[in-house]
Amino acid sequence: MRKHRPLACAAAAAVALAIAGPAAAAPPTNTKPLRDAVTVAGMKEHLVALEGIARANPFRSIPTRATGTPGHVASQAYVIEKLTQAGYTVTTQPFEADIFFEEGPAAFARTSPNPVVYERYDGDSGVWYTADFSGDGDVTKPVTVVDFKEPNATPSNSSAGCEPGDFAGFPVGNVALIQRGTCDFGVKVENAKAAGASAVVLFNEGTIGAADRNDVLIPTLAGYDASGVPVVGTDYATGKQLVDLAKAGVVTVRVAVDGFVNQGVQTSNVIAETPGGRADRTVVVGAHLDSVYEGPGINDDGSGSALLLETAEQMAALKIKPTNKVRFIWFAGEEQGLLGSDHYVSQLSKKGVSSISAMLDYDMLASPNYARLIYDGNGDEHGFAGPNGSGTIEQVFKSFWDSQGLKYETIPFDGRSDYDAFTLAGIPAGGIFAGAEDIKQPYQVPLYGGTAGVAFDKCYHQLCDDLTNINDKGFKEHKDAAVHAILTFAQTESAVNGTDKGSSNSAKEWDWHGDNQVK
């Protein structure tokens, strides 16, 4: 899971649980028996197993379940075994992935004027982080600012580095200092590399009033060529300080990354679906089974993986016969750039795309300092709508938490979890989220409890993301909403699908090659 930040608090008002559409007048699905059967204790049995797998299969002395490691392979074997015991026919979908990990410590420092060694972000403090798929190198060179734009209250206000022309006159060998904005981080880095930059510092955009546009930036360059160019991401305050210093004179920084890309790693998605139900209205329920290399990933995303597994087991035990087929998918390669979900959607035929009525994404459901966050499917609060039908999914989550007297907030579709490929292909999507590395604000404490000034998950992408990093209360509240949505869409006779058009806010381009959609 990548970073998200809630922006608006939603009011809690009692509303009906029925899905909008032709069958809106029908009685809502009674999801309580399944919600009662899917327990925190049952899910935590799976989390105990996943942490045990990570610790029994360390990679470079670190307990991990990252794609391409024995811990991930063993995690897949565990899920397959449990599903098979529950009576499911399980398939795997193999694909190749390029995997990035750091072999040695990275560094980011200002060497002049007034030298300072910047603290690497550790989930609690720090101002920078290594970009995924950064190139190797240890560079100490002057900084050149690329097309900086003063932030306002609108996200993606800056197009810095998005065009080769932004680097006109760039001094070959200097370090490019580039603001976040309207294009992929990889586009900025490739343009900087072509202009002769020896390293790149990407800093957050600084959007007024938006914490996610000011906090530490953790970029991914998956799919782009950063070879030979070390890249780090930092927060807006650090980036702006460097911008101001560069205006006043020469600023020199050190950027060092010792990384490695293991190319062509064989991995696979794990897929199980209910034997019955309408295949032309399949409900896809997804979570990612991989962790980062830095730890066992028990909240991120063992929590979502355990929720899927326990729900599948209990649906079988209760002999639930869904109206619509439910397809559970444990994706690989999410932490390396949503590779498993991208691959899955790229292999769908036109008919396969149109047969999926909804995609429910469950990534990080038990953050210790949690919030209750729902993706803004219709875009009315954040301006980034999913395909038609995504608003219906959003409303199902809202209605459920309303019925429980629980407050929530919405977050935008920002392309940072496995729903992304589905929305780009025109498939309605949604999900819930308990929060990652962003800081809980004082106004959120009365809504959710917890501690202001501390990250939702201070162990995000860290070694400490283990069983001690699970909030049972938050896990229950999120699993209840998740299970309710799964069964609601499994049993609805309403048409959830929208059009076959992707999100108008998509950052990626898709085309048809024969019967397959490809990037």
Q: Which residues are catalytic?
A: 334
| Summary count for the chain: helices (H), strands (E) | 12, 19
d(CA 165, CA 322): 55
Q: Which amino acid is at 117?
A: V
In contact, 411 and 382? CB cutoff 8 Å = yes
Joined together, the tokens standing for residue 225 give 């060529």
What are the φ/ψ torsions at residue 253 (nearest 5 degrees)? Answer: -130, 160
| CA distances in angstroms from 40 to 47, 48, 317, 447, listed in the order given | 10, 12, 17, 22
Element holding 432 (H helix, E strand): strand 429-433
Beta bridge partners of 269: 93
| Residue burial 152-186, b: 16+ Cβ < 10 Å; e: rest | eeebebbebbbeeebbeebeeebbbbbbbbebbbb
What are the φ/ψ torsions at residue 271 (nearest 5 degrees)? Answer: -130, 135
| CA distances in angstroms from 490 to 274, 314, 351, 467, listed in the order given | 10, 14, 19, 31
CA 269 vs. chain centroid, Å, equals 17
In contact, 200 and 176? CB cutoff 8 Å = yes
**CB-CB neighbours of 386 under 10 Å:** 30
